[in-house]
């Protein structure tokens, strides 16, 4: 397994030109993510969360500033980062084994490759499904396969763009625990985009709240306590209220303090 990588955004902004007008989406992003750290990115739709992940993955380039992985600037598609999207994006005609093998770095072939794919399928709880095709899987299983494919790349940084958003509530909780286990085993750095405040507080070392404005980062909130966290922890309940209030959701507790 490749070692976890650090990730740094320095003075990053991104503006898109729409109908001849520059429209700023991200501005003034300064964020240093330590190797092995888990960051959750929260913020309203359209604030630029996916854009930020795309910049880290080298799928897009900043208008100003720089993104670097382990101190080296990201230029072009970044092989040290792997992305999992909201939908699994598996190749429908391939078995799970072949889908995951697709993620392996070039040069890993033969029995070593087969063994690595088996190990990854086992890691995400799909040991018995190597010969299955994507259409034979539930949504949660397909997302686990997508995670295994991303891990096959041996990424220093795992970029997750609302990976559990389309799953039912119970599957989502199971997937969160799976991600926590996988992250502990692989030790990977994780940047997780989510709409789910509970998910952010359960999984992340720090929660970064993005918004519109001159500075995209509205708040960086360290989450106390070691992972894995107890979902019922009362300290987390207070942070949850604080975050929901920031996001413009009224809560009973928030009103009491208002
Ligand atoms: N390639 C692009 N060209 C023009 N506008 C874009 C492009 N990519 C994203 N945007 C715009 O940037 C904003 C942020 O998008 P996105 O990063 O997907 O937001 P989020 O993931 O937070 O919902 C949106 O208004 C979106 O329409
Ligand atoms: Mg998005």
Res 53: pLDDT: 97
From the alpha carbon of 51, which atom of ligand 1 is closest? Answer: 17
Give me the count of residues in the chain.
258
C-beta of residue 242 within 8 angstroms of C-beta of residue 221: yes
Tokens found for residue 63: 């208008």
Ligand 1 contacts CB of residue 44 (under 6 A)? no
Q: Whose CA is nearest to atom 17 of ligand 1?
A: 48
Pocket lining: 90 vs ligand 1, CB cutoff 6 Å: no
Q: Is the CB of 18 under 6 A from ligand 1?
A: yes
Q: For residues 254 and 57, give the distance between their C-alpha atoms in angstroms, rounded to a whole number.
A: 37
Cα 111 to ligand 2 centre (Å): 38
CA dihedral 187, 193, 198, 200 (to 10 degrees): 40
What's the confidence (pLDDT) of residue 1? 59
Question: Ligand 1: which residue has its CA nearest to atom 16?
Answer: 48
* The pLDDT value given to residue 258: 44
Q: What angle, rounded to 10 degrees, do the helices at 139-152 and 110-123 form? A: 140
pTM of the model: 0.94
- Token reading at 248: 């413009």
Tokens 């880290």 correspond to 56
Q: Residue 88's pLDDT is what?
A: 95
Pocket test for ligand 1, best of 26, 44, 48, 85 (most atoms within 8 A of CB): 48
182 vs 4: CA distance, rounded Å: 13
Question: Domains plus CATH for the chain?
Answer: 7-232 (3.40.50.300)
Binding site membership of 46 for ligand 1 (Cβ less than 6 Å): yes
| CA–CA dist 249, 242 (Å, integer) | 10
Q: What is the 3-state secondary structure (H, E, C) of 40-107?
A: EEECCCCCCHHHHHHHHHCCCCCCEEEEEECCEECCCCCCCEEEECCCCCCCCCCCHHHHHHCCCCCC
For residue 60, which atom of ligand 1 is closest to its CA? 1
Confidence at residue 253, expressed as pLDDT on a 0 to 100 scale: 62
Q: Which residues surround ligand 2, an ion (CB under 5 A)?
A: 50
58 C-alpha to ligand 1 centroid (Å)? 16
DSSP state of 128: G
> pLDDT (tens digit, 0 to 9) for every residue of the chain, 258 residues total?
578 999 999 999 999 999 999 999 999 999 999 999 999 999 999 999 999 999 999 999 999 999 999 999 999 999 999 999 999 999 999 999 999 999 998 888 999 999 999 999 999 999 999 999 999 999 999 999 999 999 999 999 999 999 999 999 999 999 999 999 999 988 899 999 999 999 999 999 999 999 988 899 999 999 998 887 888 888 899 899 999 999 988 776 655 444
The ligand with the least distance to the CA atom of 63 is: 1
DSSP assignments along 200-230, one per residue: HHHH-SEEEEE-SSSSSEEEEEEPPSPSSPP
Residue 228: predicted pLDDT: 79
Question: Taking the mean position of all CA atoms in its chain, how far away is CA 21?
Answer: 31
Ligand 1 atom with the smallest distance to the CA of 48 is 17
Ligand nearest to C-alpha 49: 1
> Token pair for residue 46?
């359209």
**Angle in degrees, CA 100, 161, 151, rounded to 5:** 25
Rounded CA-CA distance 190/178 in Å is 14
């Amino acid at each position: 397994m490749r070692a976890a990588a650090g990730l740094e955004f320095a003075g990053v902004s991104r503006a898109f030109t729409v109908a001849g007008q520059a429209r700023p989406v991200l501005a003034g992003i300064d964020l240093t993510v330590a190797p092995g750290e888990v960051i959750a990115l929260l913020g309203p739709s359209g604030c630029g969360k996916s854009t930020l992940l795309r910049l880290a993955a080298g799928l897009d380039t900043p208008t100003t500033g720089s993104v670097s992985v382990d101190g080296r600037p990201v230029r072009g598609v970044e092989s040290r980062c792997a992305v999992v999207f909201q939908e699994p994006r598996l190749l429908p005609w391939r078995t799970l084994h072949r889908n995951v093998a697709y993620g392996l770095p070039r040069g890993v072939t033969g029995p070593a490759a087969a063994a690595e794919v088996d190990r990854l399928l086992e890691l995400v709880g799909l040991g018995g499904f190597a010969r299955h095709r994507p259409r034979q899987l539930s949504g949660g299983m397909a997302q686990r396969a997508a995670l295994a494919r991303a891990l096959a790349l041996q990424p220093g940084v795992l970029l997750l763009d609302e990976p559990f958003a389309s799953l039912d509530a119970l599957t989502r909780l199971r997937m969160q625990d799976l991600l926590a286990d996988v992250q502990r085993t692989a030790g990977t750095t994780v940047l997780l985009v989510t709409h789910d405040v509970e998910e952010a507080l359960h999984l992340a070392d720090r929660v970064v709240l993005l918004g519109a404005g001159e500075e995209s980062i509205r708040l960086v909130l360290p989450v106390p306590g070691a992972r894995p966290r107890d979902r019922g922890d009362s300290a987390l309940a207070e942070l949850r209220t604080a975050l929901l209030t920031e996001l413009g959701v009224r809560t009973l507790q928030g009103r009491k303090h208002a």
